[in-house]
Amino acid sequence: MDSAGNVYFSDTRNHRLRKITRDGQIETVAGTGAAGQAPDTVRAAGAALAFPGPVATFDNGVVFVAEMLSGVVRRIDPSGTMTRVAGGGTLMTDTGSALAVRFYSADALAPLAGGRLAMVDRAGKRVRSLDLAQATVGVVAGGGVLPGREGSILGVSGLAVDPEGAVFVADRLDHRIKRVSGSSTVTVFAGTGAPGTAGDGAAAANSQIQEPTGLTTDREGDLFLTSLGGSRIRRIARGGGAITGIGGSTDGFSGDGGPATAARFGMPGGVAMGPGGVVLVADTANNRIRRIRADGVVTTLAGTGEPGFDGDGGPASRARFNAPVGVAVDGVGAIYVADTLNHRVRRIDPDGTVSTVAGSGTAGASGNGVPAEQAQLGAPKWIAIDAGGNLFVGNSWAGGAAVVTPDGILHRLGGEQEGIGSIEGIAVSDAGEVSFWDRTNRRLWQLDPVPLNDDAVVNLASQRTGPIAPGLMLMIRGIGLGPAEGVVTSAGDDGRVPIRAGGTAVLLDGVPIPILAAQYARVLAIAPYGIANRGSVEISVDYNGRRTNPVRVEVRPASPALFTRDGRGAGLAVARNSDGSDNFAGNPTFRGDIVTLVATGLGKTDPVTEAGRVYADEGIAPAGRIRVSFGEVEGELLDVSVPFNQLSSVFEVVVRVPGGAPAGSAVPVSVRVGDFSSPPGPVIAIE
């Protein structure tokens, strides 16, 4: 509250500083509603703020506000002019020019006597003092060189995984790179603990590193890192060998088209390996993604340098980004960027086109199981991609960790409700194991399978939840259920498919069942025929000894469904015309002609068969009565049986199209077993 009785408060999520006047009116003092970087001196009204937090007022009407993520402190005088007075520099020192110093965070402000301001720098473990008249910074409490020791991690900014599965940690507060082995032993890999940039050419353990930030490894096991201090990009030979500078000279922007070692970068963030030995760097403060070629030349790949958001659908070089941090590359060479203050993840295709793949642009944590572009992200900083194309996102502000599966759906992996806070590093190993650093709780997490939802088990053909049946081909949807690249099984010499694939097993009432395929986000399996007399069963997934919660599903004698061409349970059915050609709008069947459909979930067979076994016998058919309808008109069933040398869970249904069937390019078709009918969705073309 100021001397006039106005109450000031930070509307953090809306990126505004607001005040409540004495008569109860609410006014915006600064901030546009979108996170952004304001010039050092600007009119407060209409100027951008990014996550404003602590506020302090003086009797002379001056208001101070601190931006929590950047640690910048701004002064707003009674005339409405806003000025940066501290933070936002490049020096990580306890004393010196307030404008040249950069703080770890800004978590509280309070006025002190003599025109000074106290600030809590929680991440830096200090209470700092700002002399406003002299524009200098000091320390009230805490400080000194933060202790670095084996077995401790002080403050992480980035992660990487080596070929052996050990996790490298960029311990920014300790100015070291640390290695966490499979037994959770923490050792110092690089850095003496003294901040600096000296030591190129020496062993990594004897070199100086100042605030390491981004990490990645190449196929040879060399480690690449960015550091905020000096804005450098460096390489460490495998096993902790010599450290070498490959980019950066001082803070700023320059050097495109020339040697990267002479170029200037601005607070570089993430680093990733691109095709052809290219090193990709998120040049965060310059709002660019830059690349260092194998010959050492640096160029700008994406970003104009101006903070903002635009350019989707066009060349990445003409698009605007806002403080991008994380960068990753998938198996086809597409580049993904954590566009942090735009609350999005964007993709740069190999042809240079940029698009948004996750994030609505509104900061938050809403949206789970929805298209990723509709979900909210909270200042995502770090991203990683596994071999299966799953995109992992670490939100630094809200939303915890999330994954975008190849179908474009975003799934939350954990947030505040699960005790997971701000994510400051995320990495995935070649084996698909995901690690991330939780800054809030100071913990290195490794991802276990996420609990299965009640709707995790679906009919493979219809893609719908509901009762299962003996012999049904089913799919279990979740997170962390199998290997990243995916494994597809086949029948062995005994004609049976296995009960484990790539370390994954599906358990039905605790017993493994035949499995067809396993991948990170889905598993395909077959319900055994022996469940016919059970009212319900429990299904869970075990991946390398880590088991999900069981999901209870109802069992019915039949749960029929027709396969569709798109695999989603709707649209054109998998159907052949009488001449063996595929049925579609341009190649319809005719009334009175024969069409063959493909179904699962038709229940027990006659003769009795074993689920998950391939049969060469002819005449294996469902035990129940089968009917097929086109619209509301029933057709003449000619045959329904297991095809030669196929699993007994798949049936070909041969039926004559009735003369009274409706005509059209999308005539609904359904199959019925006794009282149980397939769900709507599949269609065929009839002329």
pLDDT in tens, 250-287: 889 999 999 999 999 999 999 999 888 899 999 999 99
Query: What distances in angstroms separate CA 465 from CA 374, 456, 460, 511, one per listed residue?
Result: 23, 8, 10, 22
* 376-401 pLDDT tens trace: 999 999 898 887 788 889 888 766 78
CA proximity to 394, closest of 340, 341, 460, 342: 340
Closest by Cα among 650, 183, 118, 219 to 430: 219
Pairing of β 116-121 and β 167-171: unpaired
CB 515 within 8 A of CB 525: yes
| 480 pLDDT tier (thresholds 50, 70, 90) | confident
User: For residue 402, what pLDDT is reported?
Assistant: 87
The per-residue pLDDT for 610 is 94
- C-alpha angle with apex 87: 82 to 88, nearest 5 degrees? 90
pLDDT, tens only, 230-251: 899 999 998 888 999 999 988 8
Contact by Cβ (8 Å): 190, 240: yes
Q: What is the pLDDT of residues 66-88, one digit of tens each?
A: 887 677 889 898 888 999 888 87
> β-pairing, 271-273 with 279-283?
antiparallel
Q: What is the pLDDT of residue 396?
A: 83
| Residue 147: predicted pLDDT | 32
R_g over Cα of the chain: 30
Backbone angles phi, psi at 303, to 5 degrees: 100, 140
Strand intervals (E) in 293-358: 298-302, 327-329, 335-339, 344-348, 354-358
Tokens for 242? 């010599």
What is the DSSP code (8-state) at residue 453? P
**Cross-strand pairs, 588:** none
Helix, coil or strand: residue 388: coil
Q: How many CB atoms lie within 10 A of CB 505?
A: 22
Single out the residue of 322, 354, 214 nearest to residue 273, CA to CA.
214
**Residue 27 CA to chain centroid, in angstroms?**
37
List, in order of start, the domains of the chain with CATH numbers. Answer: 7-141 (2.120.10.30), 154-266 (2.40.10.500), 303-443 (2.120.10.30), 457-554 (2.60.40), 561-686 (2.60.40)
Residue 440: CA atoms inside 13 Å, Cβ hemisphere, count? Answer: 16
Angle ∠(104,383,253) on CA atoms, nearest 5? 60
Contact 70, 58 (CB under 8 A): no
* Contacts with 494 (C-beta within 8 Å, 6 or more apart), sequence order: none
DSSP character for 32?
Answer: -
Q: What is the mean pLDDT of residues 633-640?
A: 97
Pick from 260-264, 444-448, 476-480 the range whose average pLDDT is largest: 260-264
How far is 536 from 521, CA to CA, in rounded Å? 24
